[in-house]
C-alpha cells in the first residue's frame, strides 16, 4: 500500500468521531482510550502501524476480528475492496456500523458474535487483522488466509503480547515474525487467556 496515502487518510480521520463522552476531548493524544464495555481503542500510531504492516491492496478482502469503535475498520475500508468485521459486543458493533455508514464507507460487512472461528462462509481472506489478544495464533484464521496472504495478530499472555505478522507463502508454508510488544484486551473465547485451549501449542 502507498504509505504516503495511508498517512494522509490517517491524518484526515477524526478519532474523536469514534469516541463518546469525555474521551472525545482526549482523542488527539497518542494513547489507548476506553470505548465502553471494558474495551479500548488503541493509540493511533499503533493503528496506523498495524495497517501498514497488514499492507492491504485495493483488491484485498480483509477479515477483522474486534470491530470495537470502528476506527481501525475505517482505515482498512479506505484501502481495500471489502472489510468483513466481527464484534462480539452487540452495542459496540451497532455503534460502529452507524459511524462507518455515516462516513459513507459502504464496503464493510458486519457480523456480531465470536470471531474465534473466523468467517468460514466468506473465507478465504487476503488479509486478516485481529485487534484483541489471543493465547495462540488461531488455527481457523491461519486456515482462512489465502496463499500469499498476511495476518496481523497480538499473541501472548495478559499484560504484554507479541504483535505477530503471519505470512502464508505461495506454496502454503506459514512464517510468523514478532514485530513489537503490545498490550491489547483479551480475545474472549476458547483462544483467550481464560479459554481452554491455551496448552494446545
Ligand atoms: N480495533 C478496535 C479496538 C478493538 S478492542 C478499534 O479500533 O476501536 C477489541 C475488540 O475485540 C473489543 O471490541 C472486543 O469486544 C472484541 N472482541 C474480543 N473478543 C472477541 C471475539 N472472540 N470475537 C469478536 N470480537 C471480540
Boundaries of domain holding 49: 3-200
**E-strand stretches of 29-186:** 33-36, 39-41, 61-65, 82-87, 108-112, 125-130, 145-155, 161-168, 174-182
Q: What is the CATH number of the domain that holds 121?
A: 3.40.50.150
Is residue 166 within 8 Å of residue 137, measured between CB atoms? yes
Q: Beta strand 61-65 with 125-130: parallel, antiparallel or unpaired? A: parallel
pLDDT band at 197 (very low <50, low <70, confident <90, very high): low
Ligand 1 touching residue 39 (CB < 6 A): yes
Q: Which three cell numbers stand for residue 191?
A: 483462544
pLDDT digits (tens, 9 = 90+) for 102-143: 999 999 999 999 999 999 999 999 999 999 999 999 999 999
Nearest CA to ligand 1 atom 16: 66
Distance CA 72, CA 70 (A): 6
Q: Which residues contact 112 (CB under 8 A, 6 or more apart)?
A: 86, 87, 88, 90, 93
Ligand 1 touching residue 76 (CB < 6 A): no
Mutation test of ligand 1: which of 51, 75, 132 has the most ligand atoms closer than 8 Å to its C-beta? Answer: 132
Q: Which residues contact 69 (CB under 8 A, 6 or more apart)?
A: 18, 19, 35, 41, 92, 95, 96, 99
- Say whether pLDDT at 200 is over 80: no
What is the domain count for the chain? 1
User: What sign has the CA pseudo-torsion 80, 86, 87, 91?
Assistant: positive
Q: Which residue has the cell 484485498?
A: 60
Ligand 1 touching residue 133 (CB < 6 A): no
pLDDT digits (tens, 9 = 90+) for 62-106: 999 999 999 999 999 999 999 999 999 999 999 999 999 999 999
Q: In what order do the strands lie in the sheet with 174-182?
A: 108-112, 82-87, 61-65, 125-130, 145-155, 161-168, 174-182
- Say whether pLDDT at 201 is over 50: no
Mutation test of ligand 1: which of 68, 78, 86, 136 has the most ligand atoms closer than 8 Å to its C-beta? Answer: 68
What letter would DSSP give residue 121? T
- Global pTM? 0.96
**E-strand stretches of the chain:** 33-36, 39-41, 61-65, 82-87, 108-112, 125-130, 145-155, 161-168, 174-182
Positions marked catalytic? 42
Ligand 1 touching residue 56 (CB < 6 A): no
State which ligand 1 atom lies nearest to the alpha carbon of 37.
15
Taking the CA atoms of residue 32, residue 58, residue 102 and residue 91 in that order, the dihedral angle to the nearest 10 degrees is -50
pLDDT digits (tens, 9 = 90+) for 144-195: 999 999 999 999 999 999 999 999 999 999 999 999 999 999 999 999 988 7
Q: Given this model, what pLDDT does residue 194 score?
A: 85
Distance CA 46, CA 60 (A): 21
Amino acid at each position: 500500500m502507498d504509505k504516503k496515502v495511508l498517512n494522509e487518510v490517517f491524518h484526515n480521520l477524526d478519532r474523536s468521531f469514534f469516541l463518546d463522552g469525555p474521551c472525545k476531548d482526549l482523542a488527539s493524544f497518542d494513547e489507548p482510550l476506553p470505548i465502553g464495555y471494558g474495551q479500548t481503542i488503541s493509540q493511533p500510531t499503533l493503528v496506523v502501524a498495524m495497517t501498514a504492516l497488514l499492507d492491504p491492496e485495493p483488491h484485498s478482502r480483509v477479515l477483522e476480528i474486534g470491530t470495537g469503535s470502528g476506527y481501525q475498520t475505517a482505515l482498512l475500508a479506505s484501502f481495500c475492496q471489502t472489510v468483513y468485521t466481527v464484534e462480539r459486543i452487540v452495542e459496540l458493533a451497532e455503534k460502529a456500523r452507524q459511524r462507518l455508514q455515516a462516513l459513507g464507507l459502504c464496503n464493510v460487512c458486519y457480523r456480531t458474535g465470536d470471531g474465534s472461528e473466523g468467517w468460514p462462509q466468506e473465507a478465504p481472506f487476503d488479509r486478516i487483522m485481529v485487534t484483541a489478544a489471543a493465547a495462540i495464533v488461531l488455527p481457523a484464521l491461519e486456515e482462512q488466509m489465502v496463499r500469499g496472504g498476511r495476518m496481523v495478530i497480538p499473541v501472548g499472555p495478559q499484560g504484554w503480547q507479541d504483535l505477530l505478522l503471519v505470512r502464508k507463502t505461495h506454496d502454503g508454508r506459514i512464517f510468523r515474525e514478532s514485530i513489537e510488544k503490545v498490550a491489547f484486551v483479551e480475545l474472549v473465547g476458547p483462544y483467550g487467556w481464560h479459554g481452554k485451549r491455551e496448552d494446545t501449542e
